[in-house]
Amino acid sequence: MGVFWRGPAVLNSAIPDCSRLNQEPPEAMSLSSSQTPSAILVLLPNWLGDAVMCTPALRALKKRYPEAEITAAGKGACCAVLEGFPWVDRLLTLPDRPGLSTSIKLRSSLRAGRAELAVIFPHAFRAAWLAWLSGAPRRVGLDRGGRRFLLTQALARHRIDGKLVPRYTALEYLDLAAMVGAEDDGLGLELAADPAEMADVKALIDPARPLVGIAPGAAFGPSKRWLPERFAALADRLYKEHGAQCLLMTGPGEEETRDAVRGAATTPLLEYHGGKPSIARLKAAIACVDLLIGNDSGPRHVAIAFGKPVVCIMGSTSPAYTESPWERGEVLRIDVDCGPCQKPHCVTDHRCMTGISVERAAAAASRWLAPSSRTTSI
């Protein structure tokens, strides 16, 4: 049995109802009792943070159809982050970016659950194709990427006065759920952490000192990454000023970033995973911290799900996609003439990130490490 959190459970009572943030609720599909699905296939988003942001929609689907078996299918990391999540019945790991022949080979796995409804969170044509291969007679997804003919019901892209406008990603997923009658409960992001993994993390730390997670990576690309030497300088400063223990949170593929931060720091940085990083250990570590400091990447959204404050250092992407009503903390960014560019690689001088100083980040972190702001680790 895992340890469960919903973000608002550890926040103050003034949490906005996310459903009220939808400017125009989507038209719900009319479902008679005979049409109530006994099995639902959900195609998960492709990014870790997006998978966390779909948890309110998954919960809404299960609450609306409690008797239905819900299978969530997606990349390994996205399935792993949902381990222990109580609102799905089965996780189906799919290969990354399957081609045509691989997709066809997946057909039997996708059809094993006999889904009568498929809800497609990713925007890619491939995701709608996989939903079609599953045999689900009803397929709901966003209308984009030339895939409308694969859907039985499509959600129009968010526009204001005819112009495409970015919005918080969790709301888009909730709108897709609303199209099949599933209502948002306003409780926010939710994840579960394994108690044994948490015990292993707690064995590494001094409970009398503040614990800060440092997450310097971003799978999207280097344009979203603050400079490693600045993360190192920030960790040094928090150690000197607050006695903070800093957990360096990097995963597979982020070895260069990890080594750069560790090499520039004079403060000992704790390794939370014993040389064997996993999503389960990452969740457990974030569930234990007093504060997470990182880029706009997956760990940020994991922290929101566990009700942990975040100092997010944001560069190339629009904050509108990740601006959560349930987030505690601060987003540090500067307006630049070339941004938000939404590009994984900067083609100029990375001024959106280099313009954010260690002093500014340290001041923000200090506000959230003050005794009145710290939360008790569970």
Question: Domain extents for the chain?
Answer: 18-185, 192-369
Residue 224's pLDDT is 86
The region of weakest confidence among 24-33, 148-157, 247-256 is 24-33
| Strand residues in 128-244 grouped as ranges (E) | 138-142, 153-155, 159-160, 163-164, 190-193, 211-215
Q: How high does pLDDT run on average in the chain? A: 89
Q: Which helix (H) or strand (E) holds 73?
A: strand 69-74
Residue 315's pLDDT is 86
Q: Which helix (H) or strand (E) holds 101?
A: helix 100-105
Please state which CATH class domain 18-185 belongs to.
alpha beta
Residue 376's pLDDT is 46
Amino acid letter, residue 214: I
The region of weakest confidence among 46-55, 210-219, 348-357, 366-375 is 366-375
**pLDDT of residue 359 exceeding 50:** yes
User: Bigger pLDDT: 285 or 97?
Assistant: 285
Same CATH topology for 18-185 and 192-369: the answer is yes
Interval 18-33 mean pLDDT = 45
Residue 374's pLDDT is 62
Contacts of 274 by beta carbon, 8 Å cutoff, 6+ apart: 200
Residue 206's pLDDT is 95
264-273 contacts: CB < 8 A, separation 24 or more?
264/228, 264/229, 264/232, 264/233, 265/232, 265/233, 265/235, 265/236, 266/236, 267/235, 267/236, 267/239, 267/240, 269/214, 269/235, 270/204, 270/205, 270/245, 270/246, 271/247, 272/201, 272/204, 272/247, 272/248
**343 in Cβ contact with 177 (< 8 Å):** no
Residue with tokens 């966003």: 142
123-129 contacts: CB < 8 A, separation 24 or more?
124/46, 125/150, 126/97, 126/98, 127/43, 129/103
Interval 263-279 mean pLDDT = 90
Residue 273's pLDDT is 83
Domain covering 192-369 in this structure, CATH number: 3.40.50.2000
Residue 14's pLDDT is 29
Q: Is the CA virtual torsion 182, 187, 191, 194 positive or negative? A: negative
Report in angstroms the alpha-carbon separations of 246 from 176, 216, 290, 330, 350.
Answer: 39, 12, 10, 19, 26
Residue 208, exposed/middle/buried by CB under 10 A (0-12, 13-18, 19+)? exposed
Residue 96's pLDDT is 86
Whether the link from the prior residue into 26 is cis, omega within 30° of 0, is no
Interval 90-117 mean pLDDT = 90
Q: What is the distance between the alpha carbons of residues 73 and 178, in angstroms, rounded to a whole number?
A: 20
Report in angstroms the alpha-carbon separations of 159 from 14, 21, 171, 192.
Answer: 28, 14, 13, 34
Q: Which stretches within 255-377 are classed as H helix?
A: 255-264, 279-288, 298-305, 351-354, 358-369
Interval 30-49 mean pLDDT = 83
Region at 135 (left for phi over 0; alpha for psi -120 to 50; beta for the rest): left
Both tokens assigned to 134: 């599953």
Q: What is the distance between the alpha carbons of residues 244 and 4, in angstroms, rounded to a whole number?
A: 26
Residue 373's pLDDT is 65
Residue 25's pLDDT is 44
Both tokens assigned to 293: 């400091």
